[in-house]
Amino acid sequence: MQQWIVPIAFILLGFLGGLIGEKVFFKKLREFVIEKQIPGGDIIFTALHRMTFFWFLLAGFSGAFLYSSLNINNDIKIILQKIITSLLLYSATLVLARLTAGFVNLFIQRTEGIPASLISNLAKITVLGLGILILLQTVGVQITPIVTSLGVVGLAVGFALQDTLANLFSGFYLIISKQIRTGDYIKLDDGYEGYITDITWRNTNIKEIKNNIIIVPNSRLASTIFTNYHLPVKAITLTMDIGIGYESDLEQVERVTLEVAKEVMQEISPELIENEPIIRFHTFNDFSIDFRLSMRVKEYFDQQIGKHLLIKKLHKRYQQEGIQIPFPIRDVYIHNHSESSHLDFN
What pLDDT, on a 0 to 100 scale, did the predictor assign at position 202? 84
In whole angstroms, what is the distance from residue 49 CA to residue 38 CA?
18
What pLDDT, on a 0 to 100 scale, did the predictor assign at position 233? 84
What pLDDT, on a 0 to 100 scale, did the predictor assign at position 242? 93
End-to-end, the C-alpha distance of the chain in Å comes to 111
What pLDDT, on a 0 to 100 scale, did the predictor assign at position 1? 54
What pLDDT, on a 0 to 100 scale, did the predictor assign at position 44? 75
What pLDDT, on a 0 to 100 scale, did the predictor assign at position 333? 65
What pLDDT, on a 0 to 100 scale, did the predictor assign at position 151? 61
Specify the amino acid at residue 182. Answer: T
Burial class (CB in 10 A: 0-12, 13-18, 19+), 122: middle
Sign of CA dihedral 163, 168, 169, 172: positive
Taking all residues of the chain, what is their mean pLDDT, rounded to a whole number? Answer: 79
What pLDDT, on a 0 to 100 scale, did the predictor assign at position 345? 47
- For 330-344, how does the pLDDT look when each residue is reduced to its tens digit (9 = 90+)? 666 676 655 544 445
Regions of the chain short of the pLDDT cut 50: 340-343, 345-346
- For 253-289, how does the pLDDT look when each residue is reduced to its tens digit (9 = 90+)? 999 999 999 999 999 988 888 889 999 999 998 889 9
Furthest CA-CA distance within the chain: 137
If phi > 0 it is left, if psi is from -120 to 50 it is alpha, else beta; for residue 44 that is alpha
pTM: 0.56
In whole angstroms, what is the distance from residue 9 CA to residue 7 CA?
5
What pLDDT, on a 0 to 100 scale, did the predictor assign at position 263? 93
Q: Strand 185-188's sheet: what is its strand order?
A: 213-217, 203-207, 193-199, 185-188, 226-228
